[in-house]
Structure 1
Amino acid sequence: MNEVILQSLGAAETVTGSKHLLKTPELNILIDCGLFQGIKSLREQNWQSLGISPNEIDLIILTHAHLDHCGYIPLLVKKGFKGSIYMTRPTSELAELILLDSAKLQEEDAENANKHKYTKHHPAKPLYTSEDAIASFKYFKPQECNVLIRLSDHIHFRFKTCGHILGACSVELTCFEKIIIFSGDIGRPHSVILPAPDYFTAADYVIMESTYGDRLHGDHNYYDELAEMINKTIAQRGNVLIPSFAVGRAQELIYVLNFLKEQRMIPFDLPIIMDSPMAASATRISLRYADEYMSISNEKFMEMNRHVTINQDYNNTLGFIKDKHSKIVIAASGMLSGGRVLEYLKHYVGDSRNTVLIIGFQAEGTRGRALINKSHEVKIHGKYYAVNAKVSEIEGLSAHADQRELMNWIRKFEKPPKQILLVHGEPCAQEALRVKIQTELALPVKIMKQNQDVLLFTCDNYVVTPV
């Protein structure tokens, strides 16, 4: 074989399950190894065969620690993968945290499904267990950014920070003298706690995310918008519930809410509860890496956390729910797919005085998407709950670059890529971005299809060494 072929095993015409397989004459490299989330037809793919034996994959390069990028790792290891998994140091710590939480939630969901008999499977089983997650950690190989890592005679790569969350990176992979860029999830240029995404000036092929390929986050001041929403809610003695990804969004929210208090834009004594053991742990990890990977100092990060009650004990959760005083609750998960946020949602969503604030992307089929689409009810643990609370969305707090920011990222290339391949986006977003790139930049763009082989190039002078 003298061909270099790209195959998307996930995140092709959808925003979830990121797995991009680069098949080369020397190595089979998997960029990201995420779980499918959202609608049932997507989640069911987690249980299906990958189409390649795990022991045929030589290594994994992980762009960041969100579940849709790392959540399949324990299952791949369980099925026989034994290669190295490269990532940055913060990503390594955060991925361990997220994978243990994922396993725990799956174990709890299976237990609840069996207990309350809302499953078609008898018995329901978790996709993987905590022991499976722990078994995968020995393959983690943390690396520094901007350092070339040699993988074989003709392949090396390096990480470049891309914003989005702590430790998140794009990947520049040099393969048989061709440069292949995997963007990962590109962050915002004006994050309040993370530096702007780094960029590349040359590439032959770019595999690029397109989550917000059809949308702009707007230029309005989200500080004012957020303060107004909070003040209106507490004026009617309601609570503000913010479903948030425990890694990334929760830490940025703490900064923003602390700023609003300091500026007296919201009451200084308004309780802020961050109810997520994982967010608490992610915050501690962030503190360790603040000076190196964040745009605010360790001291500033510590100071802003003093204004937040961080809860890890579920018994306290019940107490916060029963407390009738107005408060802001930040709880995972960000798409309302599981976790403690569901306990709050059960009690808050039926009360018109409360507000559910959506601040991140909500995948198709999630409760978060249902709320944005003005569903009159949501199903939680087999029971329906009427939606009477106000549902608000502030796009300016998103961790994903919008269409304009994605276009600006592409414009940094001084040498035009031979081809851009779009992944990690829903069809309408991908088509809008495809047309935008082709119209304004005259670059060839392809939208990846799941499991479709795309020939990037051939290594004409490569000779296979006999074993």
Structure 2
Amino acid sequence: MKVKFIGGAGTVTGSKTLIESNGVRILIDCGQFQGIKPLRELNWEPLPILPSTIDFVLLTHGHLDHCGWLPRLVDQGFKGKIYCTSPTKEITKLILLDSAKIQEEEASTANKGKFSKHEIAQPLYTVAQAEKVFPHFRVIKTNEALPLDAEITAVYSNAGHILGACTIELQLENKILVFSGDIGRDNDVLMYPPTKPKRGDYIFLESTYGDRLHPDTDVKAELEMYINNTVAKGGTIIIPSFAVERAQTVMYLLWQLKEEGRIPNIPYIIDTPMGISVLDIFENNRKWHKLPEHEYIAMCKMFSMITDYQETIATIFDKQPKVVIAASGMITGGRVLSYLERYIGLPETTVIIIGFQAEGTRGRKLLEGAKEIKIHGKYYPVLANILEIESLSAHGDQRDLLNWLSALENKPIKVFLVHGENIPLDELRIKINERYHFDCKIPLMGQEFEL
């Protein structure tokens, strides 16, 4: 049995882990690389194996960095089945269509504006290519054994994080392999705590926040202060948000603040068509989250939901103070760019960063104090107030990750640390070794191991 790390190793994006056993090839996640250019360029490279030789893809969840390369995989010859939970299937379809649409639009804009370095800018994949992924989906139930082969079984269990997100346990060759996926927080606003694994010979653990603890702050008090201070200056609050789960969490917290009379009666806007579509998935998958139906309905009524881009333009040029939640969460694309083109250069604007920002993304650059950012080939001065609320992250922190390992009844042969940058990976390795004395390995991109 072999494992090959072809994504999500030494970085938090592009998650792809290949397992090969007795001629069967299983790909755990098929994510898109994001962030710095050398990583983004990997999206254009072929896999080190032929996609046609992969039998199954097992998706942990529907974020772009875990599912966003599926259209390329199918386009290059994959003919197998893609297993996932029902919410993950619906979210992945939205994510892929949105990603393809944005890429088509950005390629078109680059060609019209002649600011691409390529003679003709091409999208990584088209909407038509994204749609060809859908017939490959197969929906599974959690906590039930899924036979992939005569001697290979998979079991999915709740990972928290977002709707439908799961940890995957593979049983093969008398060994148990556990793939954490992205681990949610033990005290998330909307999601239930992740299920801890009981056994595992080889553990593949995400390490996004392996070097930090989320501050124990009052998130609602932070939002209240930032909004009121900005409105007092006549400014607009822009919250770049991941369309899945983070947008809904922020909506819920803002609704609570409004109900409590702690924030003003101004327009509250959600401008992410995908985020609005995800609300329907929330409505249809109540067992996956803690949001009561009556609060969900009241929350939705508070927000102006924008899907048409002409409404976006009208909102952008509306000078009154407002709160806008818009995708994408790392400011790599999407409608939030249109808002920032207008507002990033105004000192009365507040931009609130609420999720992990990968190296090289605009969000990361803003947090690091960039004086200007590049949008659609043009540089804009950063005069807005850039703030961060770390406690709104959907990823478990170091304490949560260590706690996730606490129910293991056996000592794993090895723990592979993935989905993290170098410092968080090494810090988590040290902590796991100190607490549990597990043998940890930090694989490099492209490395292969015999298990």
User: In structure 2, what is the equivalent of residue 333 of structure 1?
Assistant: 328
User: In structure 1, what is the equivalent of residue 7 of structure 2?
Assistant: 10
Q: How is 1:51-62 mapped onto 2 (pairs within 5 angstroms)?
A: 51-62=48-59
Q: Which moved more, 1:224-233 or 1:39-48?
A: 224-233
User: In structure 1, what is the equivalent of residue 233 of structure 2?
Assistant: 236
Distance in 2 of aligned mates of 1:182 and 1:32:
10
User: In structure 1, what is the equivalent of residue 175 of structure 2?
Assistant: 178
Please state whether the residue corresponding to 1:420 is helix, strand or coil.
strand
Q: Is the 8 A contact 2:107 2:121 kept in 1?
A: yes
Distance in 1 of aligned mates of 2:120 and 2:58:
35
Normalization by structure 2: what TM-score? 0.99
Identity of aligned residues (%): 49
Which of 270, 276, 289 aligns to 1:280? It is 276
The CA deviation at 1:298 is 3.0
Distance in 2 of aligned mates of 1:369 and 1:246:
18
User: In structure 2, what is the equivalent of residue 392 of structure 1?
Assistant: 387
Post-superposition CA distance 1:372-422 (Å, at most 9, x none): 000000000010000000000000000000001111111121222121100
The CA deviation at 1:26 is 4.0
Post-superposition CA distance 1:307-359 (Å, at most 9, x none): 11110011111111111111110000000001110010011111111100000
Which of 206, 213, 216 aligns to 2:203? It is 206
Distance in 2 of aligned mates of 1:367 and 1:76:
27
Distance in 1 of aligned mates of 2:217 and 2:292:
27
Q: Which moved more, 1:410-419 or 1:236-245?
A: 410-419
Q: Which moved more, 1:225-234 or 1:293-302?
A: 293-302
Please state whether the residue corresponding to 2:13 is helix, strand or coil.
coil
The CA deviation at 1:300 is 2.5
Which of 405, 416, 436 aligns to 1:441? It is 436
The CA deviation at 1:192 is 1.5
User: In structure 2, what is the equivalent of residue 322 of structure 1?
Assistant: 317
- Equivalent pairs counted in the alignment come to 451
Please state whether the residue corresponding to 2:428 is helix, strand or coil.
helix
User: In structure 2, what is the equivalent of residue 342 of structure 1?
Assistant: 337
The CA deviation at 1:185 is 0.3
2:403 counterpart of 1:429: no
User: In structure 2, what is the equivalent of residue 84 of structure 1?
Assistant: 81
The CA deviation at 1:270 is 2.4
Task: State the AA in 1 paired with 2:367.
Answer: I
Unaligned runs of 5+ in 2: none
Please state whether the residue corresponding to 1:47 is helix, strand or coil.
coil
Task: State the AA in 1 paired with 2:263.
Answer: I
Distance in 1 of aligned mates of 2:110 and 2:231:
36
Q: Is the 8 A contact 2:196 2:406 kept in 1?
A: no
Distance in 2 of aligned mates of 1:30 and 1:279:
28
Which of 121, 126, 133 aligns to 2:123? It is 126
Please state whether the residue corresponding to 2:155 is helix, strand or coil.
strand
Q: Where in structure 1 do 4 or more consecutive aligned residues deviate above 6 Å?
A: none
Q: Is the 8 A contact 1:287 1:302 kept in 2?
A: no
User: In structure 2, what is the equivalent of residue 193 of structure 1?
Assistant: 190
Distance in 1 of aligned mates of 2:177 and 2:259:
45
Q: Which moved more, 1:66-75 or 1:220-229?
A: 220-229
Distance in 2 of aligned mates of 1:390 and 1:124:
34
User: In structure 2, what is the equivalent of residue 461 of structure 1?
Assistant: none
Q: How is 1:408-423 mapped onto 2 (pairs within 5 angstroms)?
A: 408-423=403-418
Distance in 2 of aligned mates of 1:394 and 1:127:
32
2:177 counterpart of 1:216: no
Normalization by structure 1: what TM-score? 0.95
Q: RMSD in angstroms over aligned alpha carbons?
A: 0.9
Q: Is the 8 A contact 1:32 1:62 kept in 2?
A: yes
Distance in 2 of aligned mates of 1:52 and 1:332:
33
Unaligned runs of 5+ in 1: 457-467
Q: Is the 8 A contact 2:11 2:422 kept in 1?
A: yes
Q: Is the 8 A contact 1:40 1:365 kept in 2?
A: yes
Distance in 2 of aligned mates of 1:292 and 1:436:
34
Distance in 2 of aligned mates of 1:238 and 1:259:
22
Please state whether the residue corresponding to 1:35 is helix, strand or coil.
coil
Post-superposition CA distance 1:14-69 (Å, at most 9, x none): 00000000111141100000000111110000011211000111110000000000
Please state whether the residue corresponding to 1:285 is helix, strand or coil.
helix
Distance in 2 of aligned mates of 1:357 and 1:411:
34
Please state whether the residue corresponding to 2:379 is helix, strand or coil.
strand
